[in-house]
Chains A and B, each alone.
Chain A
């Protein structure tokens, strides 16, 4: 993703330690326009910290974070819980992202298939519904870069497949770059341009097929995991059922 087009965001040689313990070491990465980058890694590998650095929430000890000038960020955190004591419609929640224009809010909700929820109380939604609403808040801002922290957590396999399909769709329609932290390394989105495998340092990075054969990746996760990576691929002429059996592709899945 070089070739003259400036990156949306560039991290260079990021070092970060807490209480003398290294969290991130010489981490470099960049996300280009319309690029989908997936970050994977074992628990405690620094994924959450890296996302906080990328969002500008923590300052690294060393290294540079360079954002393209005027970059608009959309962020979908891992979990948002709205207090039962807070009466808040979905529409208002989306507006709190800084968007006052009513039609833009409606559009964003329609994009994620949540337009019917606009007047619902936000604290009554299911996890899957709220995930879409949080995504709507992010895209209503018309972001250049969409950052998602383990968005498919707690959603069933079918939900994950649909969510990833939605993301690819959004990338194509809105033209934003996507940086995604995946909690499930078996389930890297097939539309990913670049997988980054993190274990304090960047173990390996590249296209999904390259990463899954990389010796450091095999060492970290074992060959079993490597075989299962990127099971969801929309380019396949078939899909896998819950037991792994081959089933007919879904309508509109490609």
Chain B
């Protein structure tokens, strides 16, 4: 049963990190961005395979480059950001699929990259996921107020002398680390749901930014535990099962929000 323990430890750590990043993705209206970044990871896997540099390194480097590219393009006005992100998200997914078939042909287990394969993580994988999640959680803690301030009004933060560019770059870096560790849990197609759904569910009962992050982490952790249970009990794929449980929490939060607004 070791594999279940590794899955719980690795998946739980990733969910905790997702809960910290997720609220910022919502506040900054970056859910499309998260999707694009996650899909680009498939291209990273293919490139890592072709270069023989390892999957994790491939994903990390590609995600970082991609995040940098998106940040530079954020201020262009020719196309709306949503159109541009749509192009990037699907373009990189297609590039990744083509690249994977060139790199590994039929031996590549495509599904494990697309929707995750948490029950196959090794002890080393789980440790890496814990370490990456720690980096994300600690890193975000260090830039929290700056990131919050610039998420509200970037020019005000600049005028007040905050390190806006550095904060944005660090945030992008943390997102890339997160994508790298989350592929094994839910796969590139479902990564942004791990960011957004627990955070959205936490909104209804949160009174402060920190509270929303904390509750999102809590919901994410419980979601992974229950999702693994569901997957084990019904023999369904683990990644999608985790997301289905998260959806359940979101539905519950809608009901709570309805009750709260009725009573006030």
Q: Is B203 in contact with chain A by the CB < 8 A criterion?
A: yes
Cα A141 to Cα B211 with chains together (Å)? 26
- Asked whether, in the complex, the Cβ of A75 is within 8 Å of the Cβ of B159, the reply is yes
Listed A/B pairs (14) with beta-carbon separation below 8 Å: A52-B155, A56-B159, A77-B155, A83-B26, A83-B27, A85-B26, A85-B200, A87-B209, A87-B212, A92-B209, A93-B152, A96-B145, A97-B160, A98-B160
Interface readout for B149-187 with A: 1 if CB under 8 Å, 0 if not?
101110110111110000000000000000000000000
Task: Output the nearest chain A residue to B207 by Cβ-Cβ distance.
Answer: A87
For B162, the closest partner residue in chain A by CB is A98
B203 and A77 contact, CB distance less than 8 A: no
Instruction: Give Cα distance in the complex from A230 to B258, angstroms.
Output: 50
- Distance in angstroms from B182 CB to nearest chain A CB is 22
Interface size on B, residues (CB 8 A): 25
Q: B81 — which chain A residues lie within 8 A by C-beta? A: none
| CB–CB A55/B203 < 8 A | no
Residues of chain A within 8 A of B151, CB atoms compared = 86
Tally of A-B Cβ pairs under 8 angstroms: 61
A246 within 8 A of B: no
Known interface pairs A56-B159, A87-B208, A87-B211. Does A80 touch B203 (Cβ–Cβ under 8 Å)? no
Partner of B159, one of A73, A80, A88: A73
Interface members, chain A 74-96 (any B CB < 8 Å): 75, 77, 80, 82-83, 85-89, 92-93, 96
Nearest CB of B to A178, in Å? 15
- In the assembly, what is the distance between CA of A56 and CA of B157, in Å? 12
Interface contacts beyond A57-B155, A80-B153, A87-B203: sample of 4 additional A-B pairs, CB < 8 Å, sorted by A = A87-B207, A87-B211, A96-B148, A98-B161
- Across the interface, B152 reaches (CB within 8 A) one of A52, A73, A82, A89, namely A82
B206 CB within 8 Å of chain A:
yes
B-binding residues in A (CB < 8 A) = 52, 55-57, 73, 75, 77, 80, 82-83, 85-89, 92-93, 96-98, 141, 147
Secondary structure type dominating chain A contacts: loop
Question: How near does chain B come to A85, taking the closest CB pair, in angstroms?
Answer: 5
CB closest chain-A residue, reference B157: A96
Q: How far is the CA of A147 from the CA of B159 in the complex (A)?
A: 10
A77 touching B153, Cβ below 8 Å: yes
State which of A73, A82, A83 has its C-beta within 8 Å of the C-beta of B160. A73
Bound form: Cα–Cα A96–B211 in Å: 16
**B24 to chain A: closest residue by CB:** A86
A92 to B211, CA, bound (A): 13
Chain A residue at minimum C-beta to C-beta distance from B146: A96
Expressed in whole angstroms, the Cα–Cα distance for A52 and B158 within the complex equals 10
